[in-house]
Amino acid sequence: MPEAGASARRIGVLVSGRGSNLQALIDAIGRNELRATIAVVISNVPGVAALDRAAAAGIDTLVLPHRDWASREAYDEALAAALRDKGAALVCLAGFMRRLSARFLEAYDGPVLNVHPSLLPAFPGLDGPGQALAHGVKVAGCTVHLVTAELDAGPIVAQSAVPVLPADTADTLAARILVEEHRLFPQAVGRVLDGAWRIDGRRFLDV
């Protein structure tokens, strides 16, 4: 998947909350560690802090409340259309607390990246750190993966491990994992934008 110029490095970011992973992308771009332009930040929840972060960085924002659409598929088609209109060549889910349907993936037809607070395929879904503690694992972490219609099951782009400490709570473990998310997510976005990769079955491979 060869790089096709500046337009191929325009990304759209989907958010639902505080936007700390959005900020990590903004900061990495500002430090010239990530060669990309954030074309738009879209939230399905009005008034969240992530929108303020985007506005402070001079990034276009859009609020599309999912409750305004009659079905998940109709919402996802509108979301995909908004991203296409902004010329987003890659979509990043940065705390977007809504599962995208197969209809979105068909309508958008480009790579979509998510960062998840567990070492997938272990502990998909909500509260990865809490699940890790409940299962007594000794190592947790985060995963950046390509999004597919199956929940948290797309090809893995990058992972980072975090030790589980004896005194950890779900909150303290989540906080340490989040530090790694902020480091790993921009790196993985850059790797995908560079285009020197392919998918072989479930594997994300360099070319």
What are the residues whose beta carbons fall under 8 Å from the beta carbon of 150, sequence distance 6 or more?
A: none
Q: Which of 66, 116, 135, 182 is catalytic?
A: 116
Tokens 């903004």 correspond to 26
Q: Is 135 a residue of the active site?
A: no
In total, the chain counts a number of residues equal to 207
The CA distance from 1 to 6, in Å, is: 15
CA distances from 138 to 78, 93, 153, 170 (A): 42, 27, 22, 13
**Do the beta carbons of residue 82 and residue 42 sit within 8 Å?**
yes
CA distances from 25 to 4, 38, 41, 175 (A): 21, 9, 12, 18
Give catalytic residues, as residue numbers: 116
